[in-house]
Structure 1
Amino acid sequence: MTDHLLLSRLDLNLLVSLDALLTERSVTRAAERLHLSQPALSASLGRLRTHFGDQILARRGNTYELTPFATRLSEHTSTALEAARRVFESQATWEPSESTREFSIYGSDYGFVTIGATAARLAAERAPNVRFRFVLHNPTIVEDASNRLRSVDAMIIPHGHLSDLPYVDLWRDSWLAIVAEDHPIGANPTLEELGQEPWVMTYQSRSAFTSAARQLQQLGVEPKVDVIVESFLAMPHFIAGSRRIGMIQAALAPVALALGGVRTVPLPFDATPLVNALWWHPVHEADPEHAWMRALLAEAGRMVGAAVDPLSISAP
């Protein structure tokens, strides 16, 4: 039987029921979530059990638990439901000022408070009913980007982490060191001084790292890492009032300095500039709404780049 014939015999409403059952792990709660009667959802569960040849929900005492098969299904169901929603929300003609589309974008807090905030302001002026959903990525999402980007619109991340996907460059940024206001280190620290102080690092693992931290190690400095955070915005809170050193992007420096208690100093080496980019899956390439979103993010990127102190950016 071909895939098309198999799909033609399925009620895709079952996907909605399956997602609710996997999320709530209860027929009663899933029925309430979908505003259905409990017998109606029990009937859907029966059809799902017959289709998959699995109980989906297995009773354990007074509660239900997902079967091992259902646990595996949960990894794909929400993605499939989101993809289906996008298909049926698509419009043959699209006018930004009248659109109610929601764009979902993966990224870090660095990307969200810089280009994300700028893009949201532009969209509010031109398409007031368009929404952005900014979702924090993690190493697992980045490593599986080619699949994850099928069901979301894009990912904001510098070059060096993704490949073989369409992208548009957004803005270039540089790195600065960040220390407490009363840190004894001078205005132009040396590599030796950096190696003597404790550090706050971000995304410090084999598959998740910043280019500047990797470069520091390649120069022979193995910093003593006191704290690891997966948030650039959190870093200043771990530096103020301490001897710790961190590295922060120039575009984010004004946000960090506004918190108080910290200052920035230049790095004693030419850190490789960040080239931030917007990445997406080829399935979105011909979508006019998506093309509008890409153009908006590119414009926002130019605005962010123009606001970054040019003296802090290394030459191309």
Structure 2
Amino acid sequence: MNFAAFDLNLLHVFDALMRERSVTRAGEALGLSQPAVSAALNRLRHLLDDQLFVRRGNDMVPTPRSEDLAEPIREALAKLETALIGDRFFDPRAAERTFTLLGADFFSMLLMPELATRIAAKAPNIAVRFLDSAKGDITRLLQEDVIDAALERPLTTPDWIATELMFDSPFAIIASADHPAIAGKLVPGTALPLDLFCEMPHAIRSIDGSMQGYIDDALSSLGRRRKVSLALPHFQSVALVVAKGKFIAAVPSQFARVVAPSLNLAIFEPPIPVPVPEIKLYWHSRHTNNPAHRWLRQEIMEAVRFIWNTGDRP
């Protein structure tokens, strides 16, 4: 292979295929047609003497050779982009690209309407897609540039992942306002009695099937436990189940305030002190000084502050 004559644009195609595992989605990310991506892949296969990606169902699965090349190519492209762009001004009005975020439905419901409106007004050719937390390991997704940023509770991450605190998210307990054990007996806004809290069946949001969380750790320190009877992957489904009248649930207080009026839910304080999770923004540090990525992070933080200050607190 004559590297001097190598088309570096092929590396962008390779990187997009590694992220998207689809010729069609890689083309959409790069602004190329499907035939153009296929042609580039064929050139890469010829130059590198490897299939690189093998079709399996609807996905393009990387070969071992591609797995070996992925990180060095991704790092090289990031360094080139930083070197060429540096701290130049980013013009969102002229930019054409797609940003990918990841988080719970808590964020897609509370934050994305405001963030999407802001981005649409300032950057009409920028698209945003929001992936569910169940998509996979955040460290891997950031390392492979599958996502630009993640919005999550505290995580244990390697040093190369950068973070910024967005807001604190204390827990609230939601129950149907008509629940027979609560209606007319307890005042919303107060703490649920501990014995009642432990006796009532709980629904929890869990993306990995785990049946415990922050609340259970706090109860365990007091020698108590609650009755977790249902685990669901989304906060919205938890709220809908609670509205049916049997279950109660511990959810982020900001989420509780948003859904309570429409679902006729009563909101209570936990019966014991529970550590307050810090909601953070996570991204790969190689993008810290990238002007487009910096603009995205700034828009996210401004959207959070706006919602916070207007009372629709995220």
Fold shared by both chains (TM-score > 0.5): yes
Query: Does 1:47 pair with 2:42?
Result: no
Q: Among residues 225, 229, 238, which one is paired with 2:228 in the alignment? A: 225
Query: In the aligned structure 1, how far is the partner of 2:115 from the partner of 2:3?
Result: 42
CA 1:249–1:87 in structure 2 vs 1: closer, same or farther (change >3 Å)? farther
Q: Among residues 297, 307, 311, which one is paired with 1:304 in the alignment? A: 307
Cα deviation for residue 246 of structure 1 reads: 0.7
Within a 5 Å distance, the mapping from 1:1-316 to structure 2 comes to 13=10, 16=13, 19=17, 23=22, 34-35=34-35, 47=46, 51-52=49-50, 57=54, 70=63, 93-138=89-134, 140-142=136-138, 144=140, 147-148=143-144, 150-162=145-157, 164=159, 165-186=161-182, 187=186, 188-203=191-206, 210-307=213-310
AA matched with 2:303: A
Query: In the aligned structure 2, how far is the partner of 1:167 from the partner of 1:74?
Result: 27
Cα shift readout 1:82-135 (whole Å, capped 9, x = no counterpart):
x969978x9655212332232211111112222332222222333333322211
CA 1:120–1:184 in structure 2 vs 1: closer, same or farther (change >3 Å)? same
Query: In the aligned structure 1, how far is the partner of 2:146 from the partner of 2:218?
Result: 34
Cα deviation for residue 184 of structure 1 reads: 2.8
SS at match of 1:97: coil
How many residues are aligned here? 293
Give structure 2 stretches of 5+ with no counterpart.
24-32
CA contact (8 A) 1:173 1:249 kept: yes
CA contact (8 A) 2:142 2:149 kept: no
Give structure 1 stretches of 5+ with no counterpart.
25-32
Query: In the aligned structure 2, how far is the partner of 1:293 from the partner of 1:93?
Result: 13
AA matched with 2:287: H
Query: In the aligned structure 2, how far is the partner of 1:208 from the partner of 1:181?
Result: 25
AA matched with 2:107: G
Query: In the aligned structure 1, how far is the partner of 2:308 from the partner of 2:278?
Result: 10
AA matched with 2:181: I
Cα deviation for residue 272 of structure 1 reads: 1.9
AA matched with 2:292: E
Query: In the aligned structure 2, how far is the partner of 1:217 from the partner of 1:233?
Result: 27
Cα shift readout 1:146-171 (whole Å, capped 9, x = no counterpart):
524x4432111122444632221112
SS at match of 1:47: helix
Question: Counterpart of 1:29?
Answer: none
Range 122-131 or range 267-276, more displaced: 122-131
CA contact (8 A) 1:189 1:268 kept: yes
SS at match of 1:152: coil
AA matched with 2:124: P
* Percent identity over paired residues: 18
TM-score (norm 1): 0.71
Question: Counterpart of 1:27?
Answer: none
SS at match of 2:236: coil
